[in-house]
Structure 1
Amino acid sequence: MKIREANIDDIKEIQFVRNAVKENTLSNPNLVTDEDCRIFLTERGKGWVCEKDNQIVGFSIVDIQDNNIWALFVHPDFDKKGIGKQLHDIMLDWYFSQTKETVWLGTAPNTRAETFYRKAGWKEIGTHGNGEIKFEMAYNDWVNKRGLLI
């Protein structure tokens, strides 16, 4: 498996992975358009994909403008292989190399994603949207966790 920066040619496969997940599903797949993906990849932030046999099996996208994790998803056929953690870590390393601003995300309660973010050191700070848990990661917490100087 290989992780690389995402580009606009990846959007079709990114959308496939996003719509294949079993948790944190979109109530309407049309809510996240290809144009939304393009904007977040090229104007608002940056993304990464994980490929296996030239097929995208996971992706992450961070929004540097709103200091938000816009997406982190792994195709269900590739769960529990460390892909999410690798995508998460490269995304946060890049984010904190760009800014020291605290980053946030929202995820549904009682999901594997909630457990994943808690294990990764995210701090619950309240709720967001339609009952999602809102988490934050501060620069110092990330640097201390990673043992890095970014």
Structure 2
Amino acid sequence: MIREARSEDIPQIQIVRNSVKENTLSDPNLVTDKDCEEFLFKRGKGWIYEIDNQIVGFSIVDLKEHNIWYVFLDPGFEKQGIGRKLHNIMLDWYFEQTEETVWLGTSPNTRAENFYRKSGWKEVGVHGKGEIKFEMTYNNWKNK
């Protein structure tokens, strides 16, 4: 059910990205298929969770900027442990590549904020347009 993302997955990844109810893009055209391709194959790596040939969630990490680019689920598949599995495989891979601290930003007062707090991420400030900036260190992840 979890596998590495491939280029042919990008259209379904975009559908999932734009189906979320929280952390929505102000303009869906801000993240292009070319952006996805760059982050999946040049800057980092991604994974998808598939059920009956339908992508219901994905995660993408950026090794260049040491950033979690995305972890998103189709809203109909939340609260089933899929996000946790995608998160964990992504961080396991990331910390096999580097010991650099990884960061992410997410909107405050969201399920994502709670998810990251429960997953051991540490709030370190503000990012972008009022997002909470979280970090995960190599040691915190390996000692979880």
**Inter-partner Cα distance in structure 1 for 2:132 and 2:104:** 8
**Inter-partner Cα distance in structure 2 for 1:83 and 1:32:** 23
User: Which deviations, in whole Å up to 9, do the C-alpha atoms of 1:51-86 show, x marking residues without a partner?
Assistant: 000100000000000000000000000000000000
2:29 partner letter: N
- Deviation >6 Å, runs of 4+: none
Q: Does 1:130 align with 2:118?
A: no
Q: Does 1:48 align with 2:33?
A: no
**Inter-partner Cα distance in structure 2 for 1:38 and 1:5:** 13
- 1:103 match: 102
**Inter-partner Cα distance in structure 2 for 1:4 and 1:84:** 14
**Inter-partner Cα distance in structure 2 for 1:48 and 1:59:** 5
Q: Which ranges in structure 2 are unaligned for 5 or more consecutive residues?
A: none
User: Which deviations, in whole Å up to 9, do the C-alpha atoms of 1:86-143 show, x marking residues without a partner?
Assistant: 0000000000000000000000000000000000000000000000000000000000
What is the TM-score with the length of structure 2 in the denominator? 1.00
**Inter-partner Cα distance in structure 1 for 2:6 and 2:124:** 32
Q: Does 1:91 align with 2:72?
A: no
- 2:66 match: 67
Shift of 1:7: 1.0
Aligned-partner SS, 2:64: coil
- 1:148 match: none
User: Which deviations, in whole Å up to 9, do the C-alpha atoms of 1:5-37 show, x marking residues without a partner?
Assistant: 001110000000000000000000000000000
Number of aligned residue pairs: give it: 144
Aligned-partner SS, 2:18: helix
- 1:140 match: 139
2:130 partner letter: G
What is the TM-score with the length of structure 1 in the denominator? 0.96
